[in-house]
C-alpha cells in the first residue's frame, strides 16, 4: 500500500479554501459558471511614480491593445474603453471617459474624469486598473506563462505592476503551501528525532519512529487524493497530528518493565498491558476530530474524515513496526537520559506554592486568549504577510476598495413575456 501510495502522491493537489467553497456550492454548476468566472478573472494594476502624462497614456493604451489581441485574452476592461452614463440630458447617453486620439481631447478627458470620476483609476490618476478575462488556460504552465507575459508587458516602461485573482492565488498556494508543508515535515522530523535520540540514545528507534510518520502521512494524503481529488488547505495540520500520535504511542509501547526471552510473549504482554490504553487514547482523539464531520463546511467535514482515519492508520503502522522492534531486539539498547528524568521528577514534585503560581498564570493567559477571541474570514488572513501576493491584494484593497464582479442572469421566458 505504501509503494502504491508513493506513485500516487506526485499528483497531489492542494485546494484553496475559497475556490473549494465555490466548487462545492449547492447551486447548479451552470449557474455558478455563468455568474462567477473568478477562475478566468485577473486584476492587474499599474502604478506611476510621477504624475501621468499624455505619452504615458498612449504607451499604456498600446500595451492594453497588445494584451487584448493575445489568444489567451477574452476581454480587457479599463479606462480606455470605460463609458459613463450622463443623466442630465433628456435622453441619457453613454459618454467615453478617456479620449487620447489628440492632445486637446486628452486635456478635455482629464477634466471630465476629475468631474465624473472613473472606476479604473485612483483620484490622483497615479494608478490604473485593468480587469482581464482570460481563456483557454487549462494547465498550470499556461497560467504561469500568461501571468509572466502580463507582468513583462506592463513593466516595459518601468511601471510597478500588481496582479491578483484566483489564477495567481492557485499558483501561489501550489508553490508556497507545498514547499511550506514539506519544510514543516522536515523540520519537525529533525527536531523530534533529536529529542528522541537525546532521551533514548538509540538511533534505530528514532529511525523507526520517523519511518512510521512517513508511512502514515503518505497513506493519509493518498486516501484524501483518492476520495476527494486532493487535500483541503486545512489538512496541512495532519502532519502535526501524526507526529504527536506516533511519538506518544511509541514511547508508551517502549515503556516496558520486563522483557521475555520469547519474543511473541513479550510482544503480546506489552500489547495487553500498554496496547489497550494506547488504543483508548487514539479512539478518544479520533472522536474529537470526528466532531468536524458535523460541520456544514465541506472542507472541515473532509478534514474530520481524513484525520479520524489517519489516527487509526498511524496506530496500525506503530503496532506493526513495534513487532519489528521486538523481533530484532532493538528495544534492549534503550538508555534513558538522566537529565530528562530529573527534570520530569522536578515537575512531578512541584511545591504547592509554585503550583498555585502556575495555575494562576494559566488562568490569566486563558482569560486573555478568550477575551481576544475573534473569527475572521478575510482572504488576506490565509496569506503570508511578507509574500508578493499579499502586497498585491492589499494594494487593490487600498486603492480600489476591493473588486468583486456582479452578474445579473435574465430568464429567457421573462423576456418573451
Are 107 and 151 contained in the same domain? yes
Residues 114, 20 contacting (CB under 8 angstroms): no
User: Residue 181's pLDDT is what?
Assistant: 76
Are 243 and 330 contained in the same domain? yes
Are 136 and 215 contained in the same domain? no
Provide the whole-model pTM.
0.67
Are 75 and 148 contained in the same domain? yes
Segment 303-313, tens digit of pLDDT: 999 999 999 99
Are 304 and 205 contained in the same domain? yes
Residues 221, 302 contacting (CB under 8 angstroms): no
Residues 218, 6 contacting (CB under 8 angstroms): yes
**Residue 333 pLDDT > 80:** no
95 within domain boundaries: yes
CA separation for the pair 233, 180 (Å, rounded)? 12
Q: What is the CATH number of the domain that holds 66?
A: 3.30.70
User: Residue 130's pLDDT is what?
Assistant: 93
Closest CA to 9 of 169, 218, 212, 195: 218
**Residue 127 pLDDT > 70:** yes
359 within domain boundaries: no
Q: Of 278, 302, 336, which closes a domain?
A: 336
User: Residue 250's pLDDT is what?
Assistant: 85
Q: Bigger pLDDT: 16 or 152? A: 152
Are 162 and 209 contained in the same domain? no
401 within domain boundaries: no
Are 227 and 318 contained in the same domain? yes
Alpha-carbon separation of residue 56 from 49, 52, 53, 150, 207 (angstroms): 12, 6, 5, 18, 63
- Residue listed under C-alpha cell 430568464: 411
- Residue listed under C-alpha cell 489538512: 235
405 within domain boundaries: no
- Residue listed under C-alpha cell 534492549: 332
Q: Of 298, 315, 336, which closes a domain?
A: 336
Q: Of 317, 336, 355, which closes a domain?
A: 336
111 within domain boundaries: yes
User: Residue 230's pLDDT is what?
Assistant: 82
Are 173 and 261 contained in the same domain? no
Mean pLDDT of 17-23: 55
Q: Provide the domain count of the chain.
A: 2
Q: Residue 306 is part of which domain span? A: 201-336
Amino acid at each position: 500500500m505504501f509503494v502504491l501510495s508513493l506513485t500516487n502522491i506526485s499528483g497531489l493537489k492542494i485546494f484553496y479554501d475559497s475556490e473549494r467553497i465555490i466548487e462545492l456550492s449547492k447551486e447548479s454548476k451552470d449557474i455558478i459558471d455563468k455568474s462567477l468566472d473568478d477562475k478566468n478573472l485577473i486584476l492587474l494594476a499599474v502604478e506611476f511614480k510621477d504624475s501621468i502624462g499624455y505619452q504615458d497614456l498612449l504607451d499604456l493604451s498600446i500595451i492594453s491593445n497588445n494584451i487584448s489581441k493575445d489568444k489567451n485574452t477574452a476581454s480587457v476592461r479599463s479606462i480606455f474603453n470605460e463609458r459613463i452614463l450622463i443623466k442630465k440630458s433628456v435622453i441619457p447617453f453613454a459618454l467615453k471617459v478617456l479620449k487620447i486620439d489628440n492632445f486637446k481631447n486628452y486635456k478635455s478627458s482629464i477634466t471630465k474624469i476629475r468631474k465624473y470620476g472613473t472606476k479604473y483609476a485612483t483620484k490622483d490618476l497615479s494608478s490604473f486598473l485593468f480587469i482581464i478575462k482570460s481563456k483557454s488556460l487549462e494547465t498550470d504552465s499556461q497560467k504561469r506563462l500568461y501571468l509572466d507575459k502580463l507582468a513583462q508587458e506592463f513593466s516595459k516602461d518601468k511601471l510597478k505592476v500588481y496582479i491578483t485573482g484566483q489564477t495567481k492565488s492557485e499558483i501561489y498556494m501550489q508553490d508556497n503551501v507545498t514547499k511550506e508543508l514539506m519544510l514543516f515535515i522536515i523540520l519537525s522530523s529533525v527536531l523530534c528525532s533529536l529529542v528522541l535520540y537525546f532521551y533514548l540514545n538509540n538511533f534505530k528507534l528514532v529511525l523507526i519512529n520517523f519511518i512510521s510518520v512517513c508511512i502514515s502521512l503518505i497513506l493519509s494524503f493518498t486516501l484524501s487524493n483518492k476520495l476527494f481529488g486532493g487535500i483541503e488547505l486545512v489538512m496541512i495540520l495532519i502532519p502535526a497530528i501524526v507526529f504527536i500520535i506516533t511519538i506518544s504511542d511509541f514511547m508508551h509501547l517502549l515503556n516496558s518493565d520486563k522483557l521475555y526471552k520469547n519474543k511473541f510473549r513479550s510482544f503480546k504482554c506489552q500489547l495487553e498491558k500498554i496496547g489497550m490504553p494506547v488504543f483508548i487514547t487514539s479512539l478518544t482523539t479520533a472522536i474529537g476530530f470526528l466532531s468536524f464531520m458535523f460541520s456544514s463546511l465541506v472542507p472541515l467535514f473532509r478534514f474530520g474524515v481524513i484525520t479520524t482515519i489517519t489516527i487509526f492508520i498511524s496506530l496500525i503502522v506503530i503496532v506493526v513496526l513495534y513487532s519489528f522492534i521486538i523481533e530484532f531486539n532493538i528495544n534492549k539498547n534503550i538508555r534513558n537520559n538522566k537529565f530528562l528524568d530529573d527534570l520530569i521528577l522536578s515537575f512531578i514534585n512541584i511545591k504547592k506554592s509554585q503550583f498555585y503560581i502556575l495555575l494562576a498564570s494559566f488562568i490569566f493567559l486563558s482569560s486573555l486568549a478568550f477575551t481576544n477571541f475573534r473569527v475572521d474570514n478575510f482572504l488576506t488572513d490565509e496569506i503570508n504577510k511578507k509574500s508578493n501576493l499579499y502586497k498585491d491584494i492589499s494594494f487593490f484593497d487600498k486603492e480600489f476598495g476591493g473588486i468583486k464582479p456582479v452578474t445579473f442572469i435574465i430568464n429567457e421566458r421573462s423576456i418573451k413575456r
